[in-house]
Chains A and B, each alone.
Chain A
Amino acid sequence: MASPKVAVVGAGVIGLSTALCITEICPSCSVTVLSDQFSPNTTSDVAAGMLIPHTYPDTPIHRQKQWFKETFTYLFAISNSAEASEAGIHLVSGWQVFKSTPKEELPFWSDIVLGFRPMSEAELQKFPQHRFGQAFTTLKCDCPPYLLWLEKKLKATGTQMYTRKVSDLWELHSEYDIVVNCSGMGAHQLVGDKQLFPVRGQVLKVHAPWVKQFIRDGDGLTYIYPGIHRVTLGGTRNKGSWSLSPDAGTTSDIFDRCCSLEPSLQGAQDIEVKVGLRPSRQSVRVQREVLSQGGVKLPVVHNYGHGAGGFSVHRGTANEAAHLVGECISALQGSSSRAKL
């Protein structure tokens, strides 16, 4: 197989980074990205893009840690280069505060982020309703810049990108040798994965350029994440809700909760409300599969179900998925040489 044709379905952070990893691992591959949405209209564009991992109950911790570490290392290098501003990657420091001391005081990722330590008494005075906190420095991927930068890098490798809604992976079998499924929430329909469910998030993107630090409540519901031009205020975790419409009551509630953590946000301007559906799952599905229909086989690599943690582990899962694509290619080459005998 001279030049395997790989289709990547999905153009959010997972689809684009997976496509990029495939071009890096398999330069002879011809990669095409197909998606019904591109930036700025993907789920990734709504996210703040903070590198603070979500814990997946059914994925072994060492695997999650490896994904996070690879992602952090990759982005750390970009943040310290001349490409940082174009890629939208920057360091940000801040605090995670808890109303009651968490049972796990040291999260699995505490040695990957920078300078992780408990907050001092003096720092906690800023949060009278919270009794415990952690201070650290991490990375943020601003979208759209990060997705646009990934698209630019892909185009430079000759990767084609098309707006196209794929309703069934079999649609692709005649044009492509391998299909990579990075369809996020779309996998619910596309591959009928009933273990995948939406966790609706509403956020406000505001102009408050004096906010230089992130603040996150350990419950994951209230957070303030300063980006390049806007600060993301959140949020909600409406499990099972498919609604992409902003809710006005929720907007006020988010604003109030964030102002109680950071009173200066009262002066925030240009409030924009966005909604995204986190494609949630008990474990991220990074897996090879061979679909079979009427004697025809279609190798598929899945990379979806990152829920609230997409940015945190994107590069690690993209690398793993790209290696699985490599395995598919070897398998195809093996079977094609067997076919020649």
Chain B
Amino acid sequence: MRVAIIGAGVIGLSSALCIHEQFHSLVPSLELEVYADHFTPHTTSDGAAGLWQPYVRDHGKLQETLWNKETFDYLLGHLHSPAAKEMGLFLISGYNLFTEPVADPSWKNIVLGFRNLTPKELELFPGYSYGWFNTALMLECRSYLPWLTNRLTQKGVKFFHKKVESFQELFSQGVDVVINCSGMRAGDLQPDPELQPGRGQIIKVLAPWVKHFIITHDSKSGIYNSPYVIPGSEFTVLGGVYQHGNWSEENSAKDHKTIWDNCCRLLPALQKAKIVQEWSGLRPARPSVRLERESIRLGNLQAEVIHNYGHGGFGITIHWGCAMAAARLFGSILQEKKLATSPGPRL
């Protein structure tokens, strides 16, 4: 049973790991292969700061909220393990700032210590009159993706550096199931007008005195189009750009100035920070995550694709819940092919 995962960002690698963990003992013939044209540190995931935080409004997408929770709980469970440092996983507290009172988010009871900001705390942020404080997690992909890659390699998963042009290409080589984690480029494999780029640009600086994340929100400009500061284990990420429909991966001088000026106004201490890098990337945005099975007829064969893409600006936040959902879909494929040696995995 050959399973090909397309994509080696956080979604592809975690889906591969989850499937391997759940099924390698049930399906002795299971062979996993990862195909990608970009590997860490050149994936979209690598550009993300790595903060676990869903969007502030879930628009009724309860399934996604559940996947977010599953991811948080899974990561929290690993916090005290010896692997945490290698995974790039650590706790971090910080602020979400608003210009007017807002309803509490769907994730208020998922994170730790969620509360409203006190008047004295708001003095730190002129222009913002309302906000939240909570403790969440950071999962830095520049560590997490290599950690996932090592785990997968140890388990005998094979990696292929190539751009897959079609699902057919893999099926004709004898692949039985494709897990489509192609992120922004899923449209190249199968047109999906709902998948659009949410272009982001970030500035990485050295500012080790910043110990909190600060995310501002402006209901008029939309999510992540308002300054944010996210301290990592080595660099602090400054951002605040979300341009729907913009496919450019070139750094824009105008966006640089917007980010720099806004973040320094937000946190005057940043004025002395040294700029180390600039990066642009495309959030694979979709009205909802596409996580579903598709059976494709190829001649007299039924080929199975599990789609797992369209995670927008919350891929890291939701990845493990989605990986487990993808694994469940895989389990049902095995059931149908009567390949699993026991009645499906207990999840």
Contacts and interface: CB of A to CB of B under 8 A. Distances in A.
Contacts of B268: 80-82, 84
Interface SS majority for chain A: mixed
B211 A91 contact: yes
A119 B113 contact: yes
B291 interface: no
A13 B80 CA distance: 37
Interface residues of A, number: 36
B208 A209 contact: yes
Contact of A82 (B91, B120, B269): B269
Contacts of A92: 211
A194 B48 CA distance: 58
A157 B324 CA distance: 64
Contacts of B272: 82, 84-86
Contact of A123 (B112, B120, B234): B112
A213 interface: yes
B79 interface: yes
Contact of A85 (B121, B209, B234): B209
Interface SS majority for chain B: mixed
B18 interface: no
Interface stretch (A24-32, A54-62, A261-269, A313-321): A261-269
Contact of B85 (A91, A135, A210, A212): A210
Closest A-B pairs by Cβ, 4 of them: A84-B269, A267-B85, A210-B90, A90-B209
Nearest to B126: A80
Interface in A124-139: 126, 135, 137
Interface in A150-183: none
B208 A93 contact: no
Contact of B113 (A91, A120, A263): A120
B90 A211 contact: yes
Given A82-B272, A228-B208, A212 B124 contact: no
B269 A264 contact: no
B211 A213 contact: yes
16 contacts: A81-B268, A90-B269, A91-B124, A93-B211, A94-B93, A114-B118, A114-B120, A115-B121, A117-B113, A137-B93, A137-B133, A210-B88, A210-B90, A212-B91, A228-B208, A264-B80
A213 B79 CA distance: 14
Contact of A209 (B80, B117, B233, B271): B233
A267 B80 CA distance: 12
A122 B273 contact: no
B290 interface: no
Contact of B84 (A213, A229, A264): A264
Given A90-B269, A91-B212, A212 B90 contact: yes
A86 to B, nearest CB: 7
A212 B90 CA distance: 8
Interface string B32-58: 000000000000000000000000000
B135 A213 contact: yes
B85 A264 contact: yes
A6 B7 CA distance: 71
A79 interface: yes
Nearest to B206: A85
A235 interface: no
B240 interface: no
B217 to A, nearest CB: 19
